[in-house]
């Protein structure tokens, strides 16, 4: 098969699926892993895709953000591992902030400490907290329909009355130079405030978030501990800038 044909197959699969595994491409093109790796490197250099552990994903626009329901069905096993580890960090007596992402939502079923208070901006989160008999507060303000979170100036004013032992945040981009980023300015403002108002901050992110840059900066890498599921490319460089915990 010609190189151009392989490249077209790779890009067509990515266009349909958004992500593709290396072994799938080996089967589809009937070629070797080393050849596919070279193809992926070439296409990444052409800004046609982003290489990740064991495959590749589509590049995202800096303002592009999937809906809550789209995120809910992505990276399910990875989110579960990260969420379980993060939930185990919560201790009796903690005041906790849970950002309104799908990985932080997944944490709730693993929280086994009851003498805690949880504040969230996640519409879905508050129901789940109450179902699990956890004392919860939801921030008041404008509801963002796509991601099911409360945002805006009223939310920020409401939020700043709280102080937290631990904050757990979702994020869209983690980059060695540009730090933590997210596509939405209003969501970024709440994440920034959570960092300022918390003794400890944890960013929960699967491998696909590393190397990404989205529209608004949330903070520098050293402002939070990262919890992820694989030892990402450039792990040592990330680990020089901040604490990074890889869960198995």
Are 8 and 117 within one domain? no
Write the DSSP string, the chain. Answer: --HHHHHHHHHHHHHHHSEEEHHHHHHHHT--HHHHHHHHHHHHHTTS-EEETTEEE----TT----HHHHHTSSHHHHHHHHHHHHTT--TT-EEEE-SSHHHHHHGGG----S-EEEE-BHHHHHHHHHTT-EEEE--SEEETTTTEEESHHHHHHHTT--EEEEEEE-SEEETTTEEEES-HHHHHHHHHHHHHEEEEEEE--GGGBT---SEEEE-GGGSEEEESS--TTHHHHHHHS-EEE--
* Residue 60 binned pLDDT confidence (cut-offs 50, 70, 90): low
Are 15 and 91 within one domain? no
Are 140 and 210 within one domain? yes
pLDDT for 62: 45
Are 16 and 128 within one domain? no
Q: Which domain holds residue 87?
A: 68-246
Are 53 and 74 within one domain? no
**The domain spanning residue 48 has which CATH number?**
1.10.10.10
Mean per-residue pLDDT for 234-248? 93
Express each pLDDT in 138-190 by its tens digit.
Answer: 999 999 988 899 999 999 999 999 999 999 999 999 999 999 999 899 999 99
* Percent of the chain's residues with pLDDT above 90: 59
Express each pLDDT in 67-123 by its tens digit.
Answer: 555 555 556 788 999 999 999 999 999 999 999 989 999 999 999 998 999 999 999
């Amino acid at each position: 098969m010609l190189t151009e044909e392989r490249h077209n197959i790779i890009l067509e699969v990515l266009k349909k699926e958004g992500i593709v595994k290396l072994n799938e491409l080996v089967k589809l093109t009937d070629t070797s892993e080393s050849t596919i790796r070279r193809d992926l490197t070439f296409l990444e250099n052409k800004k046609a895709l982003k290489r990740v552990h064991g495959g590749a994903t589509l590049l995202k626009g800096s303002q592009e953000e999937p809906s809550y329901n789209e995120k809910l069905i992505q990276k399910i096993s990875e989110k579960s591992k990260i969420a379980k580890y993060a939930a185990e960090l919560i201790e009796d007596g903690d005041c906790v902030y849970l950002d309104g992402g799908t990985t932080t939502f997944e944490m709730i079923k693993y929280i086994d400490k009851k003498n805690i208070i949880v504040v969230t901006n996640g519409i879905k989160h508050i129901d789940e907290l109450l179902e699990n008999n956890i004392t919860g507060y939801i921030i008041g303000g404008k509801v963002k329909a796509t991601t099911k979170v409360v945002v805006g100036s009223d939310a920020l004013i409401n939020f700043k009355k709280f102080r937290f032992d631990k904050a757990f945040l979702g994020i869209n981009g983690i980059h060695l130079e540009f730090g933590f980023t997210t596509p939405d300015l209003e969501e970024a403002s709440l994440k920034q405030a959570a960092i300022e108002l918390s003794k400890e901050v944890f960013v929960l992110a699967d491998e696909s978030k590393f190397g990404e840059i989205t529209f608004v900066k949330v903070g520098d890498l050293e402002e939070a501990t990262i919890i992820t599921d694989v030892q990402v490319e450039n792990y040592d460089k990330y680990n020089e800038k901040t604490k990074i915990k890889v869960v198995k």
